[in-house]
Amino acid sequence: MELASLFSPRSIALIGASANKAKLGWQILNKLRQSHLPIFPINPHESQIANTRAYPSILDVPDPVDLAIVVVPAPIVNVVVKQAAEKKVKSIVVISAGFSETGPQGKKLEIVLKKLCRKQQINLLGPNVLGFANPAKKLDITFAKTAPMPGNIGLISQSGAIGAYLFDWAKSENLGFSKFVSLGNRAGLTETDFLTFLSADPDTKVIGLYLESFADGQKFLSITSRLSRKKPIVAIFGGQSPVGKQAVLSHTAALSPETAVIKTALAQAGCIQADNLEAFTDLLEIFSLEPPLIDNDLVIVTNAGGPGILAADKADAVRLKVERPTDVRGDALAEQFNTAFRQVIKDKIKDAFLIILTPQTMTQLELTCQAVVKQFKHIKKPIVVSLLGGEITAKAKEILRKNRIATIDFPQKAVDYLSILFQYWHNRLKQTAYPVRQSSLIKVPGLRLQPGQQTWQQIKILAKAYHLPLVATKIVKENSLLQLIKEFGFPLVLKADPTEALHRTEKKALFLNLNSAKTVQKYFNQLKSRFTTILIQPQIRSGHELFIGVKRPPSFPPLLTIGSGGIYTEIYQDVGHTFLPVNKTSALKLLAQTKLGQILQGARGLPPTNLRPVIDLILNVSQLALNFPQIEEININPAIINQNKVDIVDIKISAYEETPRRL
Amino acid sequence: MELASLFSPRSIALIGASANKAKLGWQILNKLRQSHLPIFPINPHESQIANTRAYPSILDVPDPVDLAIVVVPAPIVNVVVKQAAEKKVKSIVVISAGFSETGPQGKKLEIVLKKLCRKQQINLLGPNVLGFANPAKKLDITFAKTAPMPGNIGLISQSGAIGAYLFDWAKSENLGFSKFVSLGNRAGLTETDFLTFLSADPDTKVIGLYLESFADGQKFLSITSRLSRKKPIVAIFGGQSPVGKQAVLSHTAALSPETAVIKTALAQAGCIQADNLEAFTDLLEIFSLEPPLIDNDLVIVTNAGGPGILAADKADAVRLKVERPTDVRGDALAEQFNTAFRQVIKDKIKDAFLIILTPQTMTQLELTCQAVVKQFKHIKKPIVVSLLGGEITAKAKEILRKNRIATIDFPQKAVDYLSILFQYWHNRLKQTAYPVRQSSLIKVPGLRLQPGQQTWQQIKILAKAYHLPLVATKIVKENSLLQLIKEFGFPLVLKADPTEALHRTEKKALFLNLNSAKTVQKYFNQLKSRFTTILIQPQIRSGHELFIGVKRPPSFPPLLTIGSGGIYTEIYQDVGHTFLPVNKTSALKLLAQTKLGQILQGARGLPPTNLRPVIDLILNVSQLALNFPQIEEININPAIINQNKVDIVDIKISAYEETPRRL
């Protein structure tokens, strides 16, 4: 997608330009004129707007037009877009609202608009867009009080207000933006188009991404997982709570996905996840200002014992290497700091520096910051200054900002951000591109699924085909009971078929630890009175319980979840997620994310378990899910892991009631 | 302890006053003169300092002296303190350094100083004190660039720099301090004295506490757990990492305790724990400005969709009730805000308000903040404003600060702090005073312990006396092996006596799941070749594994830890801690803190377990630890919990090698 015509157009038509100062058509015209580009106001009722010649339609413009910006009311948007297409514009931005965010009527208009632009191969941004900008070209169609200054942050946002806030913040911090785009309804261009563009844009050093939904999950994974190796992408996601999801729906007409999907998608795409707006903001500052940090040897210099200790504690917690802080003492003058700076810089092994400054009687705030600038500005290693205090520190902060040295108010936060900087640069080339090449390639033709829950009989056939090691389980009838007791031995388990009781504990459809023929008979009778198909299996006595599940979140590939099984699944929330497919390497990585994986690998002096059967099981379950797009959900809980084998105690598989969905 | 003579003295002698402007003795004199109190400089070589008459010794001062401040070199401190005692001063502050923080020589001086003041019943603050202040009385002996302004925050700190930072921050935020004290070496007054004083001080609304060690753990628990019901105490603790602990040692000559001890002590004392300096600062602001918040119905009003959604997500995460944010839209003028404010205030059920303001084109920042002041200032419910942005928001923030309305830059943080405000006020009267009255009162005279690890034989005697339900376990010899196999049945466990192999897994001194006479014999022979005393017990097949441990951290009562047992103890870190004693209520509370407790109470539709035997076990173990001060450590791992019983599989008890310590 060629987005130069959007961000660096040679000429712009504003369709819906207005002479009425209260109207958006006037405000935007005014903003466009700052770019010194040829601007063509379009308005059928005016021949001149604000000293510029206006045209009745874009088709009347004598010169070629790269970009059309549309602010006319929704019902006539498609009319003017058709004309713009005829005029061969390359990009169209539809600012106008009144589309899918308003209901089915608007949705219809949006579909027409989308098809129109796609057919003509026009870049469509919008509709319902809250601004975009290329500050270096003085192109600024934003609705913020403070215009975005030029700089190296590329910002993609599903919220215009996030832009308004960041522009003003960045100006105060002497930072700026390479490009800004608010995504709107994403009928044409989406976040992946802008991520692709910005990651190749030489003016962009770091990308900020605020999302409330993914335009296309699968595409996001495969594109972003490659781009994130090139440039840091700092991401924040709104709408994870029930109330937040409701608000998203009214805000951008989009459904916010579940938290596990969001976190897994951002992680698998290699994004740096910011938990809150403050971390998002500060991380953009850090990545905008700092050079790469490949190793983790941190130096702390401070005139404050307490804050230095807190920073050292934090460094330990986030696994940065740090020695005892260099404490120049509370009465240190700038010269003492300077000497300490020279000393620590000499040590070529050190990778990053944190200076903590508190305003004590003797402290020379400005002079000390000048010393910081002089000593650190040219050494090309990350340096962050924490200037603790209020107004008294303002001038000193200004010195640092002017010289593009990062200031983070609190030392513990500064340490946290440096560790994130380190993690990104240290690991970025290990980032795995999605999708990985599959390891298991089982294909068994002729297998069929019924809609809804599968019976145990059907599960058995699938399990055999996909080498899933089910515990010997049989359907038991009155007349075969004794025979099966003899065959299996004690202890035994009785349970109803999954189609009859999905949640067996709640439905009293499961009896464990049956140790005599009498109790087996008793519970068999009990089950028989309520259920048709009763299953019997030997009870596995010991081993680690594993959970494996597969779900299909909308617009994403199947999501595989593994973790501690049995009652531990929900209580400990010890789970790891990944989108399918998986291979041996990614399955091992996934397992290692869980505490169960650490136990299996031999934590606490226990002998490590042979992981081969566990990995095979994960791969084969994944293959099963991928081969049958009609599978809605698979739940294996528990599979029991012992030294050299795995036994699946229970599997549930459900299929969609209707036609299979797109994989 | 009567501290009025320290914070509000009627007269002050400065021992070590100096005419040399480079000296502390001059700087402090200068600061003291701002108080307009009678000040008596003491210096044997000067008769006049800075236009004030000086005296050769405090004994030469004709008037009575309430407070003596000492800045003479360490070796002569005790000489002048003796004179001050003779003069009947009520409080002494020793600013001078050179005591226990410098080594054994200084430690000796400090002990003399301590005894001297104790004998004369003089309040001693210090030595090695970095300042104290009562800003309302213009009494300010601090070494910060910005003097503390009067206000309602009482600050107790083991770091002077924390004060220097907070004074300047508070001034910028229009906040101030009732009292400030830096603790120094705590030879006399300690944090509990100041906590007691400040919680009764009518000028203090919230107490801030920065510590790197506890002067006396047991005292801290019993005093603070009562005080925290009266006033909020916001606490932060430095020196939790190995590097941080080292730095503490050089900073304040104190040993920083382990993280579990710190967290449990602060929690049991009812302190509000701040994880970092930013939270510490912001929580002081919130508690300083806001009225109590007893219920949790939060309203969010915003002109920004994205930030509003992020705030709602956060509210959900911290369990504040919140409906969809009231979104007045990006183009809202102050009047739209005003209308929304009136609307939400009308709803009497709402308890707290968060206003989020982003600088968009139409936004009237100052006018909107004036509307906030007008509408909310007098309603006596917590209100926080998040003004997102940089310089452009400065004037609007100033309006809020002047009117004492809390501003927290980021909406998610604001929500977090409001939830902490709610938790404090909602729960403060439920805070349990330490120590609780014990429930178990077992006393068995005549029992003895040997130093070091106890043998199984001794453990058995203790277990019987304290009703600890040990699994039937016997010492097995070659000739009793078959007999015991018959007695216990399979599966069986063989292990070495705890005195011979403390960590049995590592030492290969434990064999589980032995299912035949042949394997039992085989492993018995193996053990026999390496160990003297071999134990045999039946293997418990199922149930939940519980860990119970007791340790004695220095200066604290015994610390009881319970949690998931077996391999889960370390992997899941699912533990709860409390200082002894416990009673039924506190044991139940402790259990409920763990995930294991949730399982036992019937999570996931499982039938709840009878908790009686578990609670009894906890109480009896605690009693055992309390009755024997010479017990260094008890480890029960695991005890196996089933429906109506608990079986202890393994206990280890170690006793101190030397004389019993103070309980």
Residue ranges in B210-304 assigned as alpha helix (H):
217-227, 242-252, 259-268, 277-289
Q: What pLDDT digit, counting tens, does each position of A295-307 carry? A: 999 999 999 989 9
Q: Which residue in A158, A313, A395, A544 has the most chain B C-beta atoms within 10 A of its own C-beta, making it the best mutation to test that interface? A: A313
Instruction: With a cut of 80, say whether residue A282 has pLDDT above it.
Output: yes
- What confidence score (pLDDT) does residue B662 get? 45
- Helix, strand or coil, per DSSP, at residue A5: helix
Query: Which residue from A612, A156, A157, A219 is spatially nearest to A435, judged by alpha carbons?
Result: A219
The whole-number pLDDT of residue B448 equals 87
Instruction: Determine contact: B159 vs chain A, CB below 8 A.
Output: yes
Q: What angle do CA A107, A111, A112 make, to 5 degrees?
A: 120
Which residues fall within 8 angstroms of residue B589, CB to CB, at 6 or more apart? none
Using CA atoms, how far residue B367 sits from A654, B83, B331, B377, B389, in Å, is 58, 62, 14, 15, 16
Give the least confident one: A61-70, A224-233, A496-505.
A496-505
Distance from CA of B391 to the nearest CA of A (A): 6
- The DSSP-derived string for B300-338 is EEES-HHHHHHHHHHHHHTT-EE-S-EE--TT--HHHHH
The pLDDT tens digits for B74-122 are 999 999 999 999 999 999 999 999 999 888 999 999 999 999 999 999 9
Partner residue facing A212 (CB), from B165, B246, B309: B309
Q: A–B: how many Cβ contacts below 8 A?
A: 310
Q: Give the tokens for residue B429.
A: 């009267």
Q: Is B317 exposed, middle or buried (0-12, 13-18, 19+ CB in 10 A)?
A: middle
Look at strands B67-70 and B12-15 and give their pairing: parallel
Q: Quick check: helix, strand or coil at residue B634?
A: strand
Question: With an 8 Å Cβ cutoff, are A603 and B571 in contact?
Answer: yes
pLDDT value of position A32: 95
Name the residue type at position B518.
K
Q: Distance between CA A304 and CA A72 in Å, rounded?
A: 60
Q: Within an 8 Å CB–CB cutoff, is residue A529 touching chain B?
A: no
Sorting pLDDT into bands at 50, 70 and 90, what band is B446? confident
Q: What is the structure's pLDDT at B460?
A: 95
Q: Which residues of A touch B412 (CB under 8 A)?
A: 276-278
Determine if the peptide bond prior to A307 is cis (ω within 30°).
no
Predicted confidence at residue B5, as pLDDT, reads 94
In the predicted model, what is the mean pLDDT of chain A?
A: 93
Q: Of B416, B370, B408, which Cα lies nearest the Cα of B387?
A: B408
The reply to whether residue A606 touches residue B278, judged by beta carbons under 8 angstroms, is no
For residue A307, the chain B residues in CB contact (below 8 A) are 159, 161-162, 165, 277
pLDDT in tens, B448-505: 899 999 999 999 999 999 999 999 999 999 999 999 999 999 889 999 999 998 888 7
* Chain-chain contact of A310 with B248 (C-beta, under 8 angstroms): no
CA–CA dist A646, A639 (Å, integer): 6
Judge whether B235 and B262 are in contact, CB under 8 Å. Answer: no
Nearest Cα residue to B491 out of B474, B516, B523: B516
CB atoms within 10 A of CB A653: 25
Q: Is A143 on the interface with B (CB under 8 A)?
A: yes
What's the pLDDT at A661?
46
Is pLDDT at A160 greater than 70 in this prediction?
yes
Please, which residues 407-436 of chain A have a Cβ atom closer than 8 Å to chain B?
409-413
Tokens 């004690």: give the residue: A490
B275 falls in which pLDDT band (50, 70, 90)? very high
Closest to A534 in 3D by CA, of A520, A547, A513, A517: A520
The answer, for A542 touching chain B at a CB cutoff of 8 Å, is yes
Residue A533: pLDDT over 70: yes
Lowest-confidence pick of A370-374, B147-151, B377-381 = B377-381
Question: Residue A449 burial (CB < 10 Å; 0-12/13-18/19+)?
Answer: middle
| A489 and B CB contact within 8 Å | no
Kindly report the average pLDDT of chain B as a whole number. Answer: 93
Residues A140-167, mean pLDDT to the nearest whole number: 94
At residue B180 the predicted structure's pLDDT band, cuts being 50, 70 and 90, is very high
- Whether A97 has its CB under 8 Å from any CB of chain B: the answer is no
Span B530-545, average pLDDT: 91
pTM, rounded to two decimals: 0.93
Q: How far apart are CA B383 and CA B551, in angstroms?
A: 44
Is the separation of the CB atoms in A57 and A42 below 8 Å?
yes
Question: Looking at the complex, does the CB of residue B486 fall below 8 Å from at least one CB of chain A?
Answer: no
pLDDT band at B135 (very low <50, low <70, confident <90, very high): very high
Please give the average per-residue pLDDT across B295-314, as a whole number.
Answer: 95
- Residue A663 reports pLDDT greater than 60: no
Is there a contact between A54 and A46 (Cβ–Cβ < 8 Å)? yes
User: pLDDT digits over B77-89, tens only?
Assistant: 999 999 999 999 9
Q: Please, which residues have CB within 8 angstroms of residue A21's CB and are 6 or more apart in sequence?
A: A27
Omega before B491 within 30 of 0, i.e. cis: yes
Cβ-nearest to B244 among A160, A313, A570 = A313
Query: Which amino acid does the sequence have at B419?
Result: S
Residues in chain A within 8 Å Cβ distance of B248: 309
Phi, psi of B482 (to 5 degrees): -65, -40
Q: What is the 3-state secondary structure (H, E, C) of B419-456?
A: HHHHHHHHHHHHCCCCCCCCCCCCCCCCCCCCCEECCH
For A3-17, A557-571, B91-105, which range has the lowest pLDDT when averaged over its residues? A557-571
pLDDT band at B661 (very low <50, low <70, confident <90, very high): very low
Whether the CB-CB separation of B37 and B139 falls below 8 Å is answered with: yes
| pLDDT for A604 beyond 70 | no
Q: Which of residues 601-640 of B touch A (CB under 8 A)?
A: 603-606
Q: Which pLDDT belongs to residue B659?
A: 55
- Residues 6 or more apart from B339 whose CB is under 8 A from it? none
CA-closest candidate to residue B489, choices B475, B472, B477: B472
Inter-chain residue contact A307 with B277, CB threshold 8 Å = yes
What mean pLDDT do residues B361-376 have?
96
Percent of chain A with pLDDT over 70: 98
